[in-house]
Amino acid sequence: MTVEQKTLLESVVWVDPDRMSGEPCFKGTRVPVQALIDHIEGNSTLDDFLKGFPAVTRKQAVGFIDLARANPLACARLSLLRN
């Protein structure tokens, strides 16, 4: 993961063991990034996701999607942080 990607990840996602049981969430929210992944896997649009989770900005969601596309292993490691 590049320095730029790590900086973007840190601006989009936060992990705190005292919040949502350590689930990676969009920064400043209690919305797990897994919710976005689930929406995409369920063939929902990004707009559908954003309507359902108004606390998440389009910039955050697109940033996470871009990171997942460019560096899937780093995003997979986020899932491991909650275990």
CATH number at residue 77: 1.10.10.10
Residue 12: pLDDT above 90? Answer: no
Q: How many domains does the chain have?
A: 1
Residue 83 has what pLDDT?
Answer: 46
Tokens of 37: 């992944």
Find the domain containing 77 and state its range: 3-81
Q: What is the pLDDT of residues 28-77, one digit of tens each?
A: 999 999 999 899 889 999 999 999 999 999 999 999 988 888 776 666 66
pTM of the model: 0.81
Distance CA 68, CA 73 (A): 8
Label residue 15 exposed, middle or buried (CB < 10 Å: 0-12, 13-18, 19+): middle
